[in-house]
């Protein structure tokens, strides 16, 4: 779906880069310049499904999160007047393809796959989880197991290191840029890369000593610790990045405009108190949905894509 070409750049230069030149697939228009697909003016192109399909980013066990999200989906159903079904996706690619094909109407796409979803699937993001005080974000961490002999990033040379998938920001894009720019380390030349498919699998792979090190999102690690899936003694952190935006939530571009408005209302009026959403996501410091824009909040991610030489093909 896309190619990644590793380049070596200075860390300061990475942050100083202009935002990546970003283009939508030819099937979409962007008359207002906000970098997301416009809602079609032709009403015959609007989707008005009998059931709204929602998917959460495939970071962890879908079965667990189907239950976690149910109170919110019930709230969305009440406001839209339509049943809402949780769709358990197994990969970022499957999630993007489902929206591109019109089978997925509302979704949360992880940080790194957001640009691809926007460009190729007509994803219109508008919300993100945040703490009660409005602060948001997570950090990419490089972790290892206590018996690995790795205490610095440089110690990973000659070892194996797990990434999640090539669409993941913290699981691949950011660590790739950082390893190249700050440490002059490239996969294949300096270490053996592996792809686990998900952050929880990378974390468990390190804990079980299948991987010497892994690049992961600390929000996922925090939730796994809170649920006693792992303990803090099972791993060591050797690198922590700057703060990045979290999962972005939105709709497919051609969902009926009235439905899009109601879906947005559902996100911003949901009461988290006493729900499974509060119980689960408080473990990573999140307590509400806040408005965001792809243009502004994903600028740093487009910069990382620029540093990595990422380009997208929607065919």
Question: What is the distance between the alpha carbons of residues 53 and 50, in angstroms, rounded to a whole number?
Answer: 10
Residues in the chain: 315
Residue 284: per-residue pLDDT: 86
Report which of 72, 23, 50 is spatially closest to residue 269, judged by C-alpha positions. Answer: 72
pLDDT band at 90 (very low <50, low <70, confident <90, very high): confident
* Backbone angles phi and psi of 106, in degrees to 5: -135, 135
Report the pLDDT averaged over residues 249-268. 98
Q: Please say if the pLDDT value at position 147 is more than 80.
A: yes
pLDDT in tens, 113-131: 999 999 999 999 999 999 9
Sorted by sequence, the CB contacts under 8 Å of residue 190 that are 6+ apart come out as 156, 157, 158
Q: Which residues of 254-272 are buried (b: 16+ CB within 10 A; e: fewer)?
A: bbbeebbebbbebbeebeb
Closest CA to 25 of 114, 93, 118, 112: 118
CA distances from 188 to 139, 144, 153, 296, 305 (A): 25, 19, 16, 34, 20
Q: Does domain 138-244 have CATH number 3.40.190.80?
A: no
CATH 3.40.190.10 range(s) for the chain read 2-135+245-312, 138-244
Cβ-based neighbours of 63, under 8 Å, separated by 6 or more: 88
The predicted structure's pLDDT at residue 191: 98
pLDDT above 50: residue 205: yes
Average confidence (pLDDT) over 227-234: 96
In 171-235, beta strands by DSSP E = 192-195, 213-217
Give the residue from 295, 248, 269 showing the smallest Cα distance to 108.
248
Q: What is the band of 20 on the pLDDT scale with cuts at 50, 70, 90?
A: very low
Closest C-alpha among 25, 34, 38, 54 to residue 249 = 54
pTM, 2 dp: 0.78
Helix axes 114-121, 299-308, angle to 10 degrees: 90
Strands (E), the chain: 2-3, 52-55, 84-86, 106-109, 123-130, 138-144, 160-163, 192-195, 213-217, 236-244, 248-252, 288-291, 311-312
Alpha helix ranges (H) inside 5-139: 11-16, 62-80, 92-100, 114-121
Class (C level, CATH) for 2-135+245-312: alpha beta
pLDDT in tens, 23-49: 899 999 999 999 999 999 999 999 999
Helix axis angle for 62-80 and 257-269, nearest 10°, is: 110
Write down the residue that tokens 């690198």 correspond to.
239
Q: Please name which of 84, 37, 53, 79 lies closest in space to residue 269, comparing C-alpha atoms.
A: 79
């Amino acid at each position: 779906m896309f190619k990644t070409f590793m380049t070596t750049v200075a860390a300061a230069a990475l942050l100083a880069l202009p935002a990546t030149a970003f283009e939508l697939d030819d099937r979409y228009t962007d008359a207002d310049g906000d970098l997301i697909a416009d809602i079609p003016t032709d009403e015959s192109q609007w989707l008005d499904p009998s059931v709204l399909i929602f998917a959460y980013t495939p970071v962890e066990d879908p079965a667990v999160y189907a239950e976690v999200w149910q109170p919110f989906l019930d709230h969305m159903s009440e406001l839209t007047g339509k049943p809402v079904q949780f769709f358990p996706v197994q990969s970022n690619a499957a999630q993007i393809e489902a929206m591109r094909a019109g089978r997925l109407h509302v979704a949360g796409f992880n940080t790194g796959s957001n640009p691809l979803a926007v460009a190729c699937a007509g994803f219109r993001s508008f919300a993100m989880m945040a703490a009660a005080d409005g602060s948001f974000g997570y950090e990419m961490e490089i972790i290892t197991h206590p018996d690995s002999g790795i205490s610095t990033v440089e110690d990973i040379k000659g070892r194996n290191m797990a990434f999640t998938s090539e669409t993941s920001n913290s699981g691949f894009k950011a660590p790739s840029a950082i390893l190249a720019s700050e440490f002059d380390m490239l996969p294949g030349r300096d270490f053996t890369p592996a792809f686990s498919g998900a952050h929880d699998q990378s974390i468990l792979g390190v804990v079980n000593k299948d991987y010497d090190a892994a690049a992961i999102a600390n929000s996922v690690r925090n939730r796994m610790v809170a649920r006693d899936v792992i303990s803090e003694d099972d791993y060591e952190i050797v690198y922590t990045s700057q703060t990045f935006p979290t999962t972005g939530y939105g709709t497919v571009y051609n969902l009926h405009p009235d439905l899009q408005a109601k879906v947005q209302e559902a996100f911003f009026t949901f009461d988290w108190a006493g729900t499974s959403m509060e119980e689960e996501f408080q473990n990573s410091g999140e307590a509400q949905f806040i408005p965001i824009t792809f243009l502004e909040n994903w600028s740093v991610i487009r910069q990382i894509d620029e540093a990595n030489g990422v380009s997208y093909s929607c065919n």
